[in-house]
Structure formats: C-alpha cells, structure tokens
A and B are shown apart, each in its own frame.
Chain A
Amino acid sequence: MKGVQVLSRLTVAAFAALLLIVGYDGGSVSAQTLMNGAGATFPYPIYSKWFDEYTRVDPSARFNYQSIGSGGGIRQITERTVDFGASDGPMTDEQLKKATGELFHIPTVLGAVVATYNLPGDPKLRFAPDLLADIFLGKITKWNDPRIAAANPGIGLPNQPIIVVHRSDGSGTTYIWVDYLSKVSKEWEQKVGRGTSVNWPVGLGGKGNEGVTGQVKSTPGAIGYVELAYAIKNNLPAPMVRNEAGKFVQPSIQSTTAAAAGAAKNMPSDFRVSLTNPPGDDAYPIASFTWLLVYKDQPDQVKGQALVKFLWWAIHDGQKYTSDLLYAPLPAQVAKHIEAKIGQITYQGKPLLAAR
C-alpha cells in the first residue's frame, strides 16, 4: 500500500515537472526543431560532427541524418520525405525536373580520390592523366610499360602484370574517379562514361574503400583508387598526378581546396560543377564537392529558418572541423558565392536569412 502511494505521488510530481517544462518552453523561444536528412555516406563523419557541435550554437536544433547513399538522398528529397538531402554527385537536369520545387545544391566540403598501388619496394610513382586512363582501360597491362617508365625516370619497374581494382558498390568515390578519367581521355568518355558505378573494361571489384584496399594490399601489382582521407589514415601510397597546368601535385587537403579555388572563377551559379581537372598550379586534379540539397522555397518557416542558420554556420565556423576528419575546407572565394545562394532560400517568397 505504502509503495503504491509513493509511486502515485512520484507520478504526480513527474507530471507537474513535465507541465512546467512544456509550459516554459512554449512560453519562451521555441521547442526543439528536428530536421531530417538523408543521403551520401562519404560526408557522414563530418556531418555528424557538425550536427553535434551545432547543438552548442543553437540548442534547439536537432538533426536526424540517415547515410543511405546519394541515390537514396536524391530520391527522398525529391519526394519531400526529408527536409534536406545529401549527394556526392550533382543531380542531373532530368532529376531536377522531377522535384516539386527548385532545389539548391549547397557545397559543404571537398573530398579527393587517390590512386593507390602495391609494388615491391614501395617506389614513389607519379602518374600522367593518360596513364591512369589507359591502365583502367586495360591498354597498359605491365608495370614496366615504357609510358609508365617515362613518367618515372630512375625508378626500376617490375615486369609484372597490372591488376586493376575498382569499387564494386555504387559510390561517389567512383563517380569522382571516372569523371576525372572521362575528362582526360576521350576513349574513356565514349567507352565507359560517368556514373556511381560503371561497366569496367578490366579489373576486380572490391566492396567499399576497405575492400579495394584489402585487395590492393594483398595483391602485388595491383592498382586501385580510394578516398584521400582513407589513404592518409591507412598510410597507403598516394602518388602525385599531373594536373591541367602540367604540374605534378601531391594529393593533400591543401591541394584539394586549391582545386576548388581554381574552379572558383568559372563557378556556375547552381554549383552543379565537376571540379576534376581544374586549372591552377597547385590544384590536385581528382577532387569534388559534396552537396546538401535543399528546396529554394521552404515549406515550414521554423524548420527553414533553422536550416538556413545551420547552412550559414556550416560553411563558416563549421569548416574548422574539416581538417581533423581529413576533409578539405571550402576556399574563401567559393564560400562567398555560397553565402549569396543561402540568402536566396525563402519561405513564401520571403528570404529566410534576412529574418535572422
């Protein structure tokens, strides 16, 4: 009997407390704003860091992000089942037409892709663009091919077959890689083309960065491609590649940001741009933005405002978290353009940013 009384008293107290909290919250600023998002897996680590850090800036903002892949992100934002999408590849015109409103691409960070290989003695190789394309086309089949030797004077190359390893799962990493190969090789563009997964002329498929790395590491003579962050974390060889300006550039966070800076001059206003093979002396040529996808006209004022505030924070203060997680930050010139874009996001025709 006594236990029951205590229990009921506790319940009353808890209920009162709950009422108090709700009353307080309703009376002051606002309740929590939950924003749902879905899409790319590649930027997931930085996004979850941002969502976590951002609660210190705006305690009412809550995010729920599902990293289901760019394809799923595009589909869900098109059907408006989420408040924002995320993609590693820009949406096509056809895909944009299916959306029930104008969709903005907001670049958030940059990623790069590096070639990685397994050769006895770990020689430091350099690659010219046409070499990479012809290796992945299956036209160069031996490591001691004269064309590889010409790009790497003084390095003894073994008479070993080249075993190409690519991603078997559809991925933004693959998109960046084949987008680059399409730009530097007409033959690649015609025969294979661009996509998150393609019909590879040669090679073995490994699942995920770890699958490709595992196969490259355990197969002498293998060459594959992985995300820069993954290569740095796992101490994989990341060779220099010759860029548009004719310079051999080491892949790094700085040279990736430089790629976006190189492309800043001719940046289209919708940011649907491929950054591969950009101009600029220190630009690493195999780099790309990753984007958040948001509707220009937000259907919900509170959510829209919170989202706009978050985007603004992400391209400014949020950028300082990129380097720890091995993403490349946006260059200042590009951030300026994006600021203007965020300013165009509206609720019922009124810009949300000005209302801050």
Chain B
Amino acid sequence: MSRTAAHEEGAAETLSLPRFVRSARVTGRWGDRLFRLLIRASALALLVIVLGLVVVMIMAALPSIRAFGWWFLFTSIWDPVAEHFGALPLIYGTIVSSVLALLIAVPLGIGAAVFLSEVAPPWIRPPISFLIELLAAVPSVVYGLWGIFVLAPWLRTQVQPALGATLGFLPLFQGPPYGVGMLAAGLILAIMVVPFIIAVSREVLLAVPDAQREAALALGATRWEVTRLAVLRYARSGLIGAILLGLGRALGETMAVTMVIGNRAEISASLFAPGYTMASMIANEFAEATSDLYLSALVEVGLLLFVVTVIVNALARLLVWSVGGAVKEVRE
C-alpha cells in the first residue's frame, strides 16, 4: 500500500517538474542577472571606497610627503609653530599602547571565554554575557572620563608608587607617577577591548564540536588537558581572529586614549611617561590646523595609521593562515 502511494507521488513529481523548471528558468534569467549585477556592484563599491580613501589621503598628504620625505617616519619633533613634523613618537605610542592592551586583555578575555564555554554552570552564563555586551556598548568618552577621574588618580597614588618601589630597577617603571600616561592608556584600551575578545572567543569555543572534548575525555584527559589540547588547539584560528578584532579597535581608538595618555609626542622607555597616538593627534589638532603644511602633515598621519592597520592585518592573516595550515597537518 504505502509503496504504491510513494510511487504515485514520485510520478506526480516527475510530471510537474519540467513545467516548474521551465518557469523558473524564465524568471531566473533576469532575476539571476539582476542579482549578479547587484552583488557585483556592492563588492565593487567597497573597492572604490577604499581606493578613493587612499587616493584622497595621498593627494592631501603630498605637500607633507614632499617636505619631509622619509624623515616624517623617523623624526620625533612635532612643532606646529615652526612647521617641523615627525611622526615617530605617534607610531611608537600607537603600537606600544595597543600591544600593552593586548598583553592584558588576551589572557583575561580568553580565560573568561573558556570559563563561559567550558566550566561555568549554565545559569551563570546569561548574566555574565549580558554584562560583557553592556561593556562593549559603553561609549568611549565614558571610558575616558572614568580614566581621568578614577583610573589615573588610582594609578598615581597606589599602583605606580608600588610598581616603582618593587620593579623600579626596570626602565619600564621609572619616573614620576603622573597617573596619566602610557600605562593608563594601555589599561583603558585593555578594558575596552576585552568584551570584544570574550564575545567572539566564546562563540568560537562553543562551535568546537563536542566530539573533540569527548574524545579527549575518553583518553583520560583532565579538564585542563581537554581545554588545552582539544578545545583551544582546535579553535586557534578563530581565537586569533578575536584578538585581531580587539587589536583593530585598540589601534584606532581615539577619545578614551587621548583623555588618559598625556598627549606628549615623546618616546620614553617608561610606561609611566606620557605618550601620544596617531588617532589622538588627528582628533586633537585637526580642527584648528590653519596652515596647509600642518593640515597635510595631519593627513599623512592618517595615511600612516591606515598603512599600520593594513600591515597589522596582513601579518595577522599570515598568522591565521600558518596556524590553520598547522592544524590541518595535525589532523592528517
């Protein structure tokens, strides 16, 4: 009985199929063409926007490039009055503050993500996830104000004297405690970046198939071993992606950093000393830059920030790619 019914159904399908396909082809010819055109246009638009950005920035930066050449990258005087511009301290400050932020945020963020995906009892996950999303939604100027009025005084009165007394033999922790400076900037950035790293890492870890965990458990691995060997290793490239997202935010962050970094275009070995970042410099000085060369130098800083971001992203791609390759080898 059932077999014949199924057969009849199948027959009905084969009968109706050609007509259906034919009608789909008629609309599909135009629909597909339009669809292809649309998605091609959006991809192209993106390309045009990026190219346009680069071209406009290079054109606007030309007077400065002509005036200073490569020296722009390797000198550290920023004097708008005498129109001498060198961006080295800005490049240094951008990279150091971001690296410092990652040094703090990566262990913290991945640790929290591992806790949420591997260890935490289910009832605790929603409130913690909610808090993380809340942190990610706080505007950066609020972080900056908190930095000036809470973090910097705390660093100046408690943390920096303690660090100076115990680790003061290192050049990293020497000099007068101002509160604001590179250390404060790194900390603020770490706090701002952590929610992104946690949120993405947690998703990546949750996507690790349970078979991985079960296999490791079956071999008699402890919980730490399961996490380290089966979960983290499997999720490596995704985790690097999470860190990159954080790094991207740290490199480009403007408002919160400029409020706590001290805004001094100088290179100092000490983390207590004030510094400057490229994004802060542009935000600070663009509105009142009256002379053409000055404006052009600021645009060149913007161009540099773009180049640094591209380099960092390329390096990261390379890293993901090499790690991804390694994982495949292990699996084979």
* Chains A and B form a bound pair: yes
- Note all chain A residues with C-beta closer than 8 A to B264: 200, 203-205
- Note all chain B residues with C-beta closer than 8 A to A129: none
- Chain A: CB-nearest residue to B83: A195
Partner-contacting stretch, out of B162-170, B173-181, B243-251, B320-328: B173-181
- Chain B: CB-nearest residue to A202: B264
> Would B153 and A206 count as touching, CB distance under 8 A?
no
- Note all chain A residues with C-beta closer than 8 A to B295: 71
- In B253-305, the 8 Å CB interface with A consists of 258-259, 262-265, 274, 280, 283-290, 295
- Note all chain B residues with C-beta closer than 8 A to A74: 290
> Would B284 and A197 count as touching, CB distance under 8 A?
yes
A interface residues with partner B (beta carbon < 8 Å): 41, 68-72, 74-75, 89, 92, 95, 161, 163, 168-172, 192-200, 203-207, 211, 214-215, 218-219
Q: Closest 9 A-B residue pairs measured CB to CB?
A: A170-B288, A205-B263, A69-B287, A168-B263, A199-B79, A193-B81, A196-B288, A214-B148, A169-B284
- Note all chain A residues with C-beta closer than 8 A to B82: 193, 199
> Would B285 and A198 count as touching, CB distance under 8 A?
no
- Note all chain B residues with C-beta closer than 8 A to A207: 258-259, 263, 284
A169-B285, A207-B284, A219-B178 are contacts. A198–B259 as well, Cβ < 8 Å?
no
CB distance from B219 to the nearest CB of A (A): 56
A283 to B203, CA, bound (A): 66
Q: List 8 A-B contacts (CB under 8 A).
A: A72-B287, A89-B290, A168-B263, A169-B287, A170-B285, A197-B80, A198-B80, A211-B259
> Would B290 and A219 count as touching, CB distance under 8 A?
no
- Note all chain A residues with C-beta closer than 8 A to B199: none
> Would B287 and A199 count as touching, CB distance under 8 A?
no
> Would B148 and A199 count as touching, CB distance under 8 A?
no
CB distance from B7 to the nearest CB of A (A): 55
CB distance from A41 to the nearest CB of B (A): 8
- Chain A: CB-nearest residue to B290: A71
**A170 CB contact (under 8 Å) in B153, B259, B287:** B287
- Note all chain A residues with C-beta closer than 8 A to B283: 169
> Would A168 and B290 count as touching, CB distance under 8 A?
no
Cβ-based interface call for B316 (8 A): no
> Would A161 and B287 count as touching, CB distance under 8 A?
no
- Note all chain A residues with C-beta closer than 8 A to B136: none
Cβ-based interface call for B206 (8 A): no
Cβ-based interface call for B20 (8 A): no
Cβ-based interface call for B152 (8 A): yes
A74-B290, A214-B149 are contacts. A199–B263 as well, Cβ < 8 Å?
no
Interface string of B28-63 (1 = CB under 8 A from A): 000000000000000000000000000000000000
**A194 CB contact (under 8 Å) in B77, B81, B262, B280:** B81
* Interface residues contributed by chain B, number (CB under 8 Å): 33
- Note all chain A residues with C-beta closer than 8 A to B285: 169-170, 197
> Would B289 and A204 count as touching, CB distance under 8 A?
no
> Would A218 and B153 count as touching, CB distance under 8 A?
yes
- Chain B: CB-nearest residue to A211: B259
- Note all chain B residues with C-beta closer than 8 A to A168: 258, 263, 280, 284
A89 to B149, CA, bound (A): 32
CB distance from A34 to the nearest CB of B (A): 24
> Would A219 and B179 count as touching, CB distance under 8 A?
yes
B interface residues with partner A (beta carbon < 8 Å): 77-82, 145, 148-149, 152-153, 156, 176, 178-180, 258-259, 262-265, 274, 280, 283-290, 295
> Would A161 and B288 count as touching, CB distance under 8 A?
no
Given A199-B79, A199-B82, A207-B258, 17 extra CB contacts under 8 A: A71-B295, A92-B290, A168-B263, A170-B80, A170-B289, A198-B81, A199-B77, A199-B78, A199-B81, A204-B263, A205-B263, A206-B148, A207-B259, A215-B148, A218-B153, A219-B178, A219-B179
> Would B274 and A205 count as touching, CB distance under 8 A?
yes
A194-B81, A219-B156 are contacts. A204–B262 as well, Cβ < 8 Å?
yes
- Note all chain A residues with C-beta closer than 8 A to B290: 70-71, 74-75, 89, 92, 95, 196
- Note all chain B residues with C-beta closer than 8 A to A161: 176
- Note all chain A residues with C-beta closer than 8 A to B286: 170
- Chain B: CB-nearest residue to A171: B288
- Note all chain B residues with C-beta closer than 8 A to A193: 81-82
- Note all chain A residues with C-beta closer than 8 A to B284: 168-170, 197, 205, 207
- Note all chain B residues with C-beta closer than 8 A to A89: 290
A41 to B288, CA, bound (A): 10
> Would A205 and B259 count as touching, CB distance under 8 A?
no
A163 to B78, CA, bound (A): 21
- Chain B: CB-nearest residue to A98: B292
- Chain B: CB-nearest residue to A205: B263
A74 to B148, CA, bound (A): 33
- Chain A: CB-nearest residue to B148: A214
- Chain B: CB-nearest residue to A161: B176
CB distance from B90 to the nearest CB of A (A): 13
CB distance from B97 to the nearest CB of A (A): 15
> Would B262 and A70 count as touching, CB distance under 8 A?
no
A207 to B82, CA, bound (A): 22
- Note all chain B residues with C-beta closer than 8 A to A200: 264
**A71 CB contact (under 8 Å) in B152, B265, B280, B289:** B289
Q: Which of B79, B152, B290 has the most CB of A within 10 A?
A: B290
A199 to B77, CA, bound (A): 8
- Note all chain B residues with C-beta closer than 8 A to A219: 153, 156, 178-179
CB distance from B281 to the nearest CB of A (A): 9
